Amino acid sequence: MTTATITSKGQVTIPAPVRIALGLESGSRIEFVEIETGKFAIIPATNSIKDLKGMLRKPDSPVSINDMSLAIAKQGAKAR
């Protein structure tokens, strides 16, 4: 069994065999999922671009690149 120690700041170094098995590298994100009371699974938080499908509603009519550029410029001007 692989173990790790929690620092005083609540940080944990994930042991190399676990990082390798999960395909994690520096900068990777992970999720802690409760599988039952008091037990958690560590899951890589890697999502495919396909997972984004359906998150935004489609516009009622097609929008041109020019219209998009104008909308971006307008919002950018408001932010200043």
Domain boundaries, the chain: 53-79
Task: Tell me how far apart the alpha carbons of residues 24 and 43 are, in angstroms, rounded to a whole number.
Answer: 10
pLDDT value for 35 = 93
Res. 60 pLDDT band, cuts 50 70 90: confident
pLDDT tens profile 30-56: 999 999 999 999 988 876 777 778 878
Average pLDDT over the chain, rounded to an integer: 88
pLDDT value for 65 = 94
Q: Angle 48-35-8 (CA atoms, 0-180°, nearest 5)?
A: 90
The alpha carbons of the chain give a radius of gyration, in whole angstroms, of: 21
Task: Tell me how far apart the alpha carbons of residues 2 and 8 are, in angstroms, rounded to a whole number.
Answer: 20
Res. 20 pLDDT band, cuts 50 70 90: very high
